[in-house]
Amino acid sequence: MNLNIFASRLTGTAEIPPSKSHSIRAIILASFAVGNSIIHNVLNSKDINSVINAMKLLGVKLIQKNCTDSSFTLEVIPPKNGLITNLSKSDSAEKIITVDAGNSGSMLYFLAVIFCFIPNKTFVFTGDASLSARPIQPIIEVYKQLGIRYETNNSNNKPCLPLTIFTGDYINKKQLDNSCLKLNMDGIFSQVVSGVFLATSIFGFKTHIKLAQVGEMPYLKMTCNWVEELNIKFKTKNFNDGIFELENKSSIKSFRKTIPSDWSSASFLIAASVITNSQINIKNLNYNDGQGDAEIIRILNRMGANIKLEDNLLIIKNAIKLKGITIDCAEIPDLVPLLALIACFADGKTELINAQICRFKECDRLSATCNELKKLGASITEKPSCIRIHGRKTLKPACVESYSDHRIAMMLAVAGLAIKSDEPLVVKNFECFNISFPNFISTMKKLGANFIRS
């Protein structure tokens, strides 16, 4: 599907979907809990369905209720006495289980770590073309330290999907030092570190982790918050030095939770309002729910926007004039494509620094962002770990590529709203937006966006 976008002004109040990051963590933890859990306001998307299907493979029942185009309530029913007990009683015969992670990097990096502690199984992790091109070396480094047998495919002399792991006992005693699992990790891929945190919480052992660097810190903090809300405590939690000690001696208890709204999705509406000089409101946003992309408010206000959050209502008013600034993107990589677009409408130079992790997302987002914005006439330069934009150039419509990346696709759709022309901007292969924001088109149309599918 292609999407044709015409210049538009926006007005009104919008609601956005639930957080994908919170939804994935909740489903995994509920599946390994003892007792039935209820999760309200789960994101209704392809990535979430991939996680649900993976947990069903282990014998968990997951029942969707009150479904809308963007959310549903999920009842999670593990086997009697819990999934851990059920798995520990499984026979010793090796069973092959194929886990299709689809497009979800979070699911792959989480479950490839968690599942390696499930006894006497062979797991084969697969994914779509985009996920199959993403690096899995950070997972391999964990396996090497644990002594896990694995096989991978190879592309350009780098390991890639399919990834096959051969599990043994829960934790082979020879892999432990004084009953403590000790891991040294690079840390730039926060999802693998989160996978270790989750595995420790689920399987009930002590872990000491030393990170060479702490990448994407807000996502690590989100995982820590989930773990701690389930009464599992960190003995040491030092984000500055990258040292973590975590121990859980009891089973995870079932829970009832409501997933908060997604700041990553809200950022597209915020950007659209700012660059079209429109006034809109967004409901049900909480600045303190652990999502790093909430930082977009402070960043855009530094640039000259007029954005306020009052009683969970985000109010975006007309900006007088935007100015270019330097933005450290180490903790907000998902915002990089949008910030590059917004910078095109700001006076002066904007630099998006420490953004190298963006090269390892659904596509190389630094390259994709620069390539497609250049087609629109932007003055933008790509560097190994940053993007430099000289703003206030007049953008023009063009036919652009989504790279089958939901964030690139929606960023370009937002761009089309601010291009003053009778001709549309056309985003090819736009259907990937369903991965994180399934009602993006209908939400934008309600605000006044002139979108036409073709």
Task: Provide the annotated active-site residues.
Answer: 334
Cα–Cα distance measured from residue 96 to residue 120, given in angstroms and rounded to the nearest whole number: 10
d(CA 393, CA 412): 16
CB-hemisphere CA count at 13 Å for 419?
26
**CA–CA distance, 225 with 288 (Å, rounded to integer):** 11
Structure-block tokens of residue 380: 């933008």
Q: Tell me whether residue 201 is exposed, middle or buried, using C-beta atoms within 10 angstroms of its C-beta: 0 to 12, 13 to 18, 19 or more.
A: buried
Residue count (the chain): 454
One-letter amino acid at 335 equals L
Query: Taking CA 304 as the corner, what is the angle to CA 300 and CA 309, rounded to the nearest 5 degrees?
Result: 55
C-alpha 282/C-alpha 114 separation (Å) is 36
Conformation bin of residue 399: beta by default, left when phi > 0, alpha when psi is -120 to 50:
beta
